[in-house]
Structure 1
């Protein structure tokens, strides 16, 4: 069991946003330098392979915009949304051509009810969503005439990879907040990040309830060798509205 990880039952959005404000500068430097193999070799390629034909794209939880900038290459309009002001400021500094906004996706949709997109991307976002149903509902609204692409940590195997599966406060079937040192497979940041553990069925239920049909679901392994960790670490899915509006 990883003694540096805490299982808690409550967390505010303000606290989570502050964590990402602290992480953003070093995280951006790492991604920009191609030092996160999971991002550059697994997650980013999965998303980029599926954006063909999309002209209006919204990148939800865009962070510092490194993926967002690449989404813009073939699209006519790309909007990046993230609640972290520090992340958005960094994104704007290296990509002045894309529209970046400080907001949660729920608040942004409430302020722009007529906005829609051919493609809505939520890369490594859903496990950070404190209110999953509200976030997925907002994704559905934006993609009411398009598609959703989402990636996230694999709830069945991430607890073993991160070392908290045997924590006394952890139960796979429960929704809990996990405070852990933020790190990648090659780098530890010395800062804390919070994600929400919930069973895979909770994500599928949220999509179904919101009116999104999952048309593709893949379990993605990390870039490490099979002998180091033989199980998938990520879930990637594509979904479309069950009815068009």
Structure 2
């Protein structure tokens, strides 16, 4: 019996930052990080604040340029791409076709209203904007965003409303790999349940998800696998074993309280 090739394989990833205000001092955020993601699974990055979880996502999405290592992505044609060394044009192509990313904060164009902001992500080269707007409206309603806010500007919204708009922008266009950086941190329980339902639907449809959650209940409910980071290194990668998971529940609850 053959094992399916991983959709994404992170091999020896490192990321260093140069602090010019400290006379060029180099600080290692990630060192020799390795793990793999199988297609159609949800993997959660765990660890205390500051251990490099967000840096992993940003290296994969190439917001950060890795300092070393490889990020091997397997596309729909079974062709491998090293995201760590891909040129800028290749990165933009991957983002448009294969990679989705929800950052912690929404940074929208202040002149673009909500519905248009979300719909732009789904407009095809043929310009079927009417269909895109309908899809955007349906997704916003699913996320409990009232229609009266469609023409309002997200810069004026609450943190929870902005987070739902941010999610809608990522989810309106299906991707093979979705990266989520604390996508529910500003949401109440009811809206968290909506997001969980959406993510479970994406998993059933074959989307691979790598996420950061600070709510232990969400981790326990959603995670097929976990990757535990300590001081920028992987201390465990695999199924959420009770002994490993329980060791990090206290830090998760602490982080959850800080976010709220």
Q: Is the helix fraction higher in 1 or 2?
A: 2
TM over 0.5: no
TM-score (normalised: structure 1):
0.32
Higher gyration radius (CA):
2
Q: Between the two structures, name the one with larger relative contact order (CA 8 Å, sep ≥ 6).
A: 2
